[in-house]
Amino acid sequence: MRVLITGAAGAIGSTLAKGLQARHLLRGLDRVPMPLLEDAVVGDVVDLATVLTVAKGMEAIVHLANVGPDWEECLQSMIGTYNVLEAARQCGVRRIAYASRAGLLPRSFYPRTLQRTVEMLPKPESYYSVTKVFGESLGYMYSVQHGLEVVAVRIGNFNRERDQPRDPHHLSHGDCVRLFEQALIHPGVKYEVVFGVSDSDWPLYDLEQGRRAIGYYPQDYSRPLKDQWQ
């Protein structure tokens, strides 16, 4: 599959570049160089012309790029998300895997003893989280109005230096690759929201949704102590 990765120089982007390039033809877009990818364009998702150029000929897009946490930066991130979806529409890209966040269901509102499901109402606590609610909603609109296949991946905590999960909120490197590959290739998708975390004996997230929706079966597992389940 021909896949564009925005934010390809970041922690998740570089992990996907290493994990997917043996099976897919990858192109990267970021504001800094991407040494792991031969086909890479230094540019900004905020510029629609750039996104249109790099989206041509692609079958799918993994949209990871984020400008920053401040209000003005978040406005730019939302413009970038619009540009990616609009470029996908204009260029005939079939599938979008959008990087949302599991933190849309924060512990300030939902206790950690309550399993998170995709039916729960997001409660954004920051401008950054607001951009993710916007991105999920815009993805749904493009799916309904233009027939794009969209998977919103609510990523937990990912760390370039931590390969294995230690908490149900963590996503391992290997599961990250498995998750996004399934978000790209699973057939029959219209619009889905899934949790981007590894498995755990603490069922904080409904992982069955990801199995049903995109065939995501995490293989890495955390075993936190029972007294942490608070």
CATH number given to 2-228: 3.40.50.720
Give percent of the chain with pLDDT exceeding 90: 97
Strands (E), the chain: 2-6, 25-30, 40-42, 60-63, 95-101, 149-155, 191-196, 199-200, 221-222
Confidence grade of residue 189 (pLDDT, cut at 50, 70, 90): very high
pTM to 2 decimal places: 0.96
Residue 171's alpha-carbon distances to 94, 114, 139, 155, 224, in angstroms, are 26, 19, 23, 7, 14
5-20 pLDDT, tens per residue?
A: 999 999 999 999 999 9
101-147 pLDDT, tens per residue?
A: 999 999 999 998 999 999 999 999 999 999 999 999 999 999 999 99
Confidence at residue 224, expressed as pLDDT on a 0 to 100 scale:
87
CA–CA dist 183, 103 (Å, integer): 19
For the chain, domain boundaries: 2-228
